[in-house]
């Protein structure tokens, strides 16, 4: 048993850690529309450096009236050389539901919008 746990520890140390998604720096615009039973959310924002990837929207909660969403992206690895400055990011996603409004959160701000029908 001790050999297995030692091997697992060595394996974990040898593989690079996967970067966890983090909230983008800010949100610049939000559009939420509904067609049928699906809601489409389009968000534009910015991160504070280059190298960010996979921007996405993650539903935190939805109570039927308000859908709360996080604007996330994967930050660059620490050893990567990146430009410093605001870099635009865009995410679009579709979810099922009939909320009256959408609330999107970023690191520096948050924006709410009524759903256009």
Residues 6 or more apart whose CB falls under 8 angstroms from that of 84 comprise 48, 49
| Residue 53 predicted with pLDDT over 90 | yes
Q: CA of 55: how far to CAs of 20, 29, 33, 46, 101, in Å? A: 12, 15, 20, 10, 22
Confidence of residue 64 (pLDDT cuts 50, 70, 90): confident
Mean pLDDT of 30-48: 96
Q: If pLDDT is split at 50, 70 and 90, which confidence band does 6 have?
A: very low
Strand bridging mode 66-74 / 22-23: antiparallel
Indicate if the pLDDT at residue 15 is higher than 70. no
Average pLDDT over residues 57-83: 96
Is it the case that residue 7 has pLDDT exceeding 60? Answer: no
């Amino acid at each position: 048993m001790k050999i297995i746990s030692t091997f697992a520890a060595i394996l974990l140390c040898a593989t690079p850690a996967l970067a966890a998604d983090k909230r983008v720096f800010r949100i610049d615009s939000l559009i939420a529309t509904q067609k049928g039973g699906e809601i489409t959310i389009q968000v534009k924002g910015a991160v504070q450096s280059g190298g960010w990837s996979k921007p996405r929207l993650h539903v935190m909660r939805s109570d039927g009236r308000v859908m709360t969403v996080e604007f996330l992206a994967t930050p660059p690895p620490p050893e990567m050389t990146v430009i410093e400055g605001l870099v635009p990011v865009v995410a679009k996603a579709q979810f099922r539901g009939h909320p009256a409004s959408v609330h999107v959160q970023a690191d520096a701000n948050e924006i709410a919008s009524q759903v256009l029908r």
